[in-house]
Amino acid sequence: MPKFKPYNYNQTSMVVINYQDQLQLGTFEHAIHYLIDQKLDLYVLQQNAR
């Protein structure tokens, strides 16, 4: 008979999340993602990061 560990409801678990799938078209989050990814010029921030 196998020995199983007792299940603990207080334990943490890893959940795989695909953030691209979470962005639904027409939501505020999608608009922010689009503005930062497509419209903003992040060149100045990239220079300071180096």
Tens-place pLDDT, residues 30-48? 999 999 989 998 888 778 7
- Sequence-distant (≥ 6) Cβ neighbours of residue 36 within 8 angstroms: 42
Q: Percentage of residues in the chain with pLDDT exceeding 70?
A: 94
**Which position has the token pair 């921030």?**
45
Nearest by Cα to 30 from 39, 20, 43, 45: 20
**Of 2 and 40, the one with more pLDDT:** 40
What torsion do the CA atoms of 50, 18, 23, 28 make, to the nearest 10 degrees?
Answer: -60
| Pair 23, 33: CB distance under 8 Å | yes
